[in-house]
Amino acid sequence: MTLLGRAANSRIRENTRCDYEGKGAVRMERENEVQIYVSVILPSLNVARYIRECIDSVRNQTMRQIEILCVDAGSTDGTLEILEKYVAVDARIRIINSDQKSYGHQVNLGIEAARGQYIGIVETDDFIDTVMYQNLYSYVGTD
């Protein structure tokens, strides 16, 4: 997991629909504005075996003011279908389809789409503790 600096725009609205429209262009439809503290990027490629445990660990964070950006690079093992099921039940989750099988490109797409004050990255074959982002956010808020 990585926690990077502040994102440029840290306000997003619930029930956001995001479509990646090419180099850096993200179209968003918004309702019910809320503050997003952390944008969590999950780069994925053929991780169907692990993705449920990973995304559940991010969804179950004690800090609820997060967005979850799933950046998939053309998975062929069912990963994308699993992610789509999560999108249907959790408005904080968005899927971004990457046209390149490049981890760096996936992370950059996530950063471009991020709306949180901070950016976190979780490897999709891993999982995190439920209080991790709450603790990190509290820590960076202190001088």
24's CB contacts (< 8 A; 6+ apart) are 112
Q: What is the pLDDT of residues 1-24, one digit of tens each?
A: 445 554 444 443 334 444 443 433
pLDDT value, residue 33: 64
Which pTM was predicted? 0.78
Q: What is the pLDDT of residues 105-125, one digit of tens each?
A: 999 999 999 999 999 999 999
Q: Is 103 helix (H, G, I), strand (E, B) or coil?
A: helix
48's CB contacts (< 8 A; 6+ apart) are 75, 77, 78, 79, 82
Q: CA 61 to CA 80: how far, in whole Å?
A: 22
Q: CA 90 to CA 107: how far, in whole Å?
A: 21
